[in-house]
Amino acid sequence: MTGYAILGPTASGKSALGVALARRLGGAVVNGDPFQAYLDLPIGTGQPSEAEREGVPHLGYGLLPLDLQVNPASFGELARGWLGQTATPVLVTGSGLYLRGIWNQLTQLPDVPEAITAKLRVWVDTLGSKALHRYLKAVDPARAGELHPNDRSRVQRALGLHLATGRRASELLDGVDRGVPAGWKAILVLPSRERQRDRVAARVRSMIKAGWKKEVDALRASGREAELRRLRPLGYDLWMDDPKGAGARIILDTRAYAKRQGTYFRNQWPEIPVWDPDQESLEEAFAKLGA
């Protein structure tokens, strides 16, 4: 399988580049973000609107039910199916780990015994996900650096793998081939640090204006709060637990998350060219992609 991969932190401008590239090539944008694949979360997960899609075909957005859990391997299989639906796919993602799954670069993960999973559920309910994240940081700083402290399910999963095997989850999740696969061309969309901070703030405010809180309230009213809390998409728990202070806190959390995203991509794929959307033209991005 071949294609183009547009990578970058949240709010960096990668989706706009993906649309421009797909239009130029006559292809389709393919979703590589697991949360954007879910139904009923269009605003809070940043799924591109009809206006943002600009008439370009988009595949893999808003399809999965909230009660379906995915991991890098299972999501990778789904995404490869979407990629196969177009002759010229333009993959857009901010998740380096899930990109490993899409590119089939994950080792086979061992099963975690139910007794360990149950113990971790008790721990997170009693101590909170941030305490478990600190524990993960002590035993596996690499994996902890990739996860937000509020990402309850993935923090639990990483600790479960460690407790079950005695090995670091980052080692178990490490790709079998660290490079860009043959036939793929990739680019990392990375604004300057200050501009990235501004972009995140603007993105979060636009999502709030678009009705993010109403989206959360509607899901709770329809009885799906438990599914939201299990999935833990960034920001949703704050709307449920502290709606008055949610906006400012989400901006801070998203800025920290975006910083980790950029660091992960630079460390994992140093050979991928970087494009600054605030300093370089679209033509320069196309040139770096050989498009």
- Give the domain CATH number at 232: 3.40.50.300
Query: Would you say residue 177 lies in a domain?
Result: no
**Is residue 101 a contact partner of residue 73, using CB atoms and an 8 Å limit?**
yes
Query: Would you say residue 64 lies in a domain?
Result: yes
Say what the pLDDT of residue 175 is. 53
Domain count, the chain: 2
> Are residues 24 and 143 located together in one domain of the fold?
no
For 146, half-sphere exposure in the C-beta direction (CA atoms, 13 angstrom radius) is 21
Write down the residue that tokens 């081939």 correspond to.
177
**Is residue 70 a contact partner of residue 137, using CB atoms and an 8 Å limit?**
no
Enclosing domain of residue 32: 3-106+183-289
> Are residues 268 and 144 located together in one domain of the fold?
no
**Is residue 252 a contact partner of residue 204, using CB atoms and an 8 Å limit?**
no
- Cα 5 from Cα 14, distance rounded (Å): 10
Please identify, among 172, 195, 216, the residue that sits at the C-terminal boundary of a domain.
Answer: 172
- Would residue 185 be called left, alpha or beta, if left means φ above 0 and alpha means ψ between -120 and 50 degrees? beta
Closest C-alpha to 250, from 195, 191, 192, 200: 200
Say what the pLDDT of residue 75 is. 96
Say what the pLDDT of residue 149 is. 86
Angle at which helices 114-127 and 129-139 pack, to 10 degrees?
Answer: 120
> Are residues 100 and 121 located together in one domain of the fold?
no
> Are residues 130 and 99 located together in one domain of the fold?
no
| pTM score, whole prediction | 0.80
> Are residues 239 and 99 located together in one domain of the fold?
yes
- Cα 258 from Cα 54, distance rounded (Å): 25
- Cα 282 from Cα 41, distance rounded (Å): 30
- Cα 69 from Cα 227, distance rounded (Å): 10
Query: Would you say residue 54 lies in a domain?
Result: yes
> Are residues 192 and 254 located together in one domain of the fold?
yes
> Are residues 8 and 150 located together in one domain of the fold?
no
Please identify, among 147, 172, 197, the residue that sits at the C-terminal boundary of a domain.
Answer: 172
> Are residues 7 and 91 located together in one domain of the fold?
yes
**Is residue 4 a contact partner of residue 270, using CB atoms and an 8 Å limit?**
no
The CATH number of residue 161's host domain is: 1.10.20.140
> Are residues 206 and 284 located together in one domain of the fold?
yes
> Are residues 197 and 143 located together in one domain of the fold?
no
Angle at the Cα of 232 (from 227 to 238), degrees rounded to 5?
A: 105
Q: Are strands 274-275 and 184-189 parallel, antiparallel or unpaired?
A: parallel
Please identify, among 139, 172, 205, the residue that sits at the C-terminal boundary of a domain.
Answer: 172
Say what the pLDDT of residue 125 is. 86
Torsion from C-alpha of 257, 260, 262, 266, nearest 10 degrees: -170
What is the identity of the amino acid at 166? G
> Are residues 204 and 274 located together in one domain of the fold?
yes
What is the identity of the amino acid at 277? P
| DSSP per-residue string spanning 174-222 | --S--SPPTTEEEEEE---HHHHHHHHHHHHHHHHHTTHHHHHHHHHHT
Query: Would you say residue 178 lies in a domain?
Result: no
Query: Would you say residue 94 lies in a domain?
Result: yes
Instruction: For residue 50, give the DSSP letter.
Output: H
Say what the pLDDT of residue 176 is. 57
> Are residues 203 and 278 located together in one domain of the fold?
yes
As separate numbers, helices (DSSP H) first and strands (DSSP E) second, the chain gives 15, 6
Positions in the chain whose pLDDT score sits under 50:
none
Say what the pLDDT of residue 102 is. 95
